[in-house]
């Protein structure tokens, strides 16, 4: 019997990214507009979707589909991952950026490019490809090639096809995908999403627990067990991150930054910022200013 789906595979590159996460880093809940291939080259990462949780160590690969809420946590230090956003077929409009982070921008589900019905594997997929030494070489080479040079673009197209086909082949040869799921992970994802959507507002652990229909003690316990942070600690982490962004991207003063990041008490913000970063807000902003001046002078 002819496998027509094989002839239809024509992965189209959209965007790429690679980098290292430190232990404990927790990603904000997000949705994709296209499909994302991820190869984990080092460390161990917990990848949580609406339907499962997978601990992905070196050699794991995954493909996450559009419109599926998901987030990740670095379980070890120096997590290295390679990410490629792609479409299964030619002709879909490219959406940049290809993802939407909860609390930062609004996800337009109508623009999400669904998984083709003809694909014979279940997406999201998680598989191990560590036995194929050439696979990682293909991934590494893909990231060294230019996105504009004609010869490099041809080679990138060939490598992307090999990468996606090898991932599918590994999945088809595997009897099961090792996944875990449970109410606690779903609750953590829901609580994260609520905090990410409302961290600039005046919210409390008691309020979050009430909305999640659990006790504050239970909510604190399961969040700490899964992301090593209580709801309040995660809330403050998001606010400190937003404060840093405002320091870099705006000319706001410290009081305005504190309020813009969701803090109602300027003094509390300053104490917490120093505790988390090792610098006062003033010192942090001064360093940013110095870097900007040095960069401007270097360009003259």
DSSP labels for 95-117?
-SS-EEETTTS---GGG--PPPT
Query: What is the structure's pLDDT at 104?
Result: 86
Does a structural domain hold residue 300? no
Q: Are residues 97 and 201 in the same domain?
A: no
Calculate the average pLDDT of the chain. Answer: 89
Total domains in the chain come to: 2
Does a structural domain hold residue 178? no
Query: What is the structure's pLDDT at 133?
Result: 77
Q: Are residues 160 and 202 in the same domain?
A: no
Does a structural domain hold residue 21? yes
pLDDT reading at 139 higher than 80: yes
Query: What is the structure's pLDDT at 299?
Result: 46
Q: Are residues 113 and 195 in the same domain?
A: no
30: phi then psi, degrees, rounded to nearest 5: -150, 165
Which of 115, 145, 173 represents a domain boundary (last residue)? Answer: 173
Does a structural domain hold residue 242? yes
Which of 113, 143, 173 represents a domain boundary (last residue)? Answer: 173
pLDDT reading at 95 higher than 50: yes
Q: Are residues 195 and 164 in the same domain?
A: no
Predicted structure pTM score: 0.82
Q: Are residues 233 and 117 in the same domain?
A: no
Instruction: Give tens-digit pLDDT for 19-55.
Output: 999 999 999 999 999 999 999 999 999 999 987 899 9
Instruction: Give tens-digit pLDDT for 226-269.
Output: 899 999 999 999 999 999 999 989 889 999 999 999 999 989 99
Query: What is the structure's pLDDT at 185?
Result: 86
Domain interval for residue 233: 183-295
Q: Are residues 123 and 64 in the same domain?
A: yes
DSSP for 50-106? SS-EEEE-TTEEEEEPTT--EEEEESSSSEEEEEEEEESSTTPPP-SS-EEETTTS-
Kind and range of the H or E run holding 294? helix 281-298
Give the number of other Cβ atoms within 10 Å of residue 165's Cβ.
13
Q: Would you call 34 helix, strand, or coil by DSSP? A: coil
CATH of residue 83's domain is 2.60.120.10
């Amino acid at each position: 019997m002819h496998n027509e789906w094989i002839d239809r595979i024509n992965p189209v590159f959209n965007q790429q990214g690679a980098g290292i996460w430190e232990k404990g880093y927790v990603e904000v809940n997000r949705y994709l507009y296209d499909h994302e291939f991820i190869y984990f080259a080092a460390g161990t990462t917990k990848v949580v979707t609406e339907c499962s949780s997978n601990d992905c160590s070196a050699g794991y690969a995954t493909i996450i589909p559009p419109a599926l809420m998901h987030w990740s946590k670095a379980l070890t230090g120096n997590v290295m991952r390679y990410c490629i956003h792609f479409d299964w077929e030619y002709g879909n409009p490219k959406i940049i950026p290809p993802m939407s982070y909860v609390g930062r921008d609004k996800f337009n589900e109508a623009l999400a490019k669904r998984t083709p019905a003809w694909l014979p594997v279940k997406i999201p997929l998680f598989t191990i490809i560590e036995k194929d030494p050439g696979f990682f070489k293909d991934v590494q080479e893909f990231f060294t090639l230019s996105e504009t040079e004609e010869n490099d673009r041809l080679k990138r197209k060939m490598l992307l096809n090999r990468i996606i086909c090898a991932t599918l082949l590994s999945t088809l040869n595997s009897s099961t995908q090792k996944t875990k799921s449970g109410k606690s992970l779903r609750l953590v994802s829901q609580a994260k999403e609520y905090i990410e959507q409302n961290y600039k507002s005046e919210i409390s652990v008691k309020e979050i627990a009430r909305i999640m229909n659990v006790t504050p003690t239970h909510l604190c316990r399961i969040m700490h067990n899964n992301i090593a942070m209580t709801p309040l600690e995660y809330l403050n982490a998001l606010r400190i991150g937003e404060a840093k962004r405002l320091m870099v991207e705006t000319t706001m003063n410290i009081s305005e930054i504190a309020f813009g990041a969701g803090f109602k008490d300027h003094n509390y913000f300053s104490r917490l910022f120093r505790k988390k970063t090792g610098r006062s807000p003033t010192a942090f902003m001064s360093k940013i200013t110095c870097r900007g001046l040095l960069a401007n002078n270097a360009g003259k």
